[in-house]
Amino acid sequence: MRNSSPLQFDHCIPPTIPEDVESNALGFFFLRYSFNHDVQTTCSFFGILPAMYANSNMSFPLAKATTALALQVARLHSWCGDESTTEHRVYTEALTQTNQAIAGATQSKSDELLMTTLVLDAYESNRATFGREDDDSRFGTHILGSVALLQHRGSLNYRDEVSWRLVIATRNRLLYQNRNAFTESAGLEAVNAVWDGAVRTQPQGVAIEADTLTFKLSRLQHLLETNRQTIFSQGEVDDKPIENSVEDEMELGGILASASNLAIECDLWRDALPPIWEPMPVLGCTLAPSIQAVALYDKVMPAVYTNLLIANSLNRQRITELGVLALIQECLVATSAKDAPRKSQSSMEPPAALLARAQLLVDEICASVPYLTVDVTDKVYATSPALPTPSRSVVCHWDTAEHRRQVIASGLYMMYGTLDKAVSIVGDGGVLGGLGHAILRDGQVDWMIEQSHRLRNVLRIVKDAYRAVNI
pLDDT in tens, 146-175: 999 999 999 999 999 999 999 999 999 999
The β-bridge relationship of strands 303-304 and 280-281 is antiparallel
Task: Give the contacts of 225 (CB within 8 A, at least 6 positions apart).
Answer: none
To which H or E segment does residue 451 belong? Answer: helix 444-459
Digit-coded pLDDT (tens) for 277-306? 999 999 999 898 999 999 999 999 999 999
User: pLDDT at position 404, please?
Assistant: 87
CA distance 456 to 90: 28
Percent over 70 (pLDDT), the chain: 76
H or E segment at 281? strand 280-281
What's the whole-number average pLDDT of the chain?
Answer: 83
Q: Give CA–CA dist 266/268, Å, rounded.
A: 5
> Nearest-CA neighbor of 315 among 446, 422, 457, 471?
422
What pLDDT was estimated at residue 396?
Answer: 56
Task: Inform me whether the pLDDT recorded for 346 exceeds 70.
Answer: no
Q: Which helix (H) or strand (E) holds 280?
A: strand 280-281
The DSSP 8-state label assigned to residue 205 in this structure reads -
Q: Report the C-alpha gap between 300 and 304 in whole angstroms.
A: 13
User: pTM for the complete prediction?
Assistant: 0.86
Our CA angle for 39, 42, 48, nearest 5°, is 60
Query: In the chain, what are the domain boundaries?
Result: 21-202, 211-459
Q: What is the pLDDT of residue 8?
A: 44
- List, for residues 210-258, the tens digit of each pLDDT value: 999 999 999 999 999 888 776 555 544 444 444 555 566 678 899 999 9
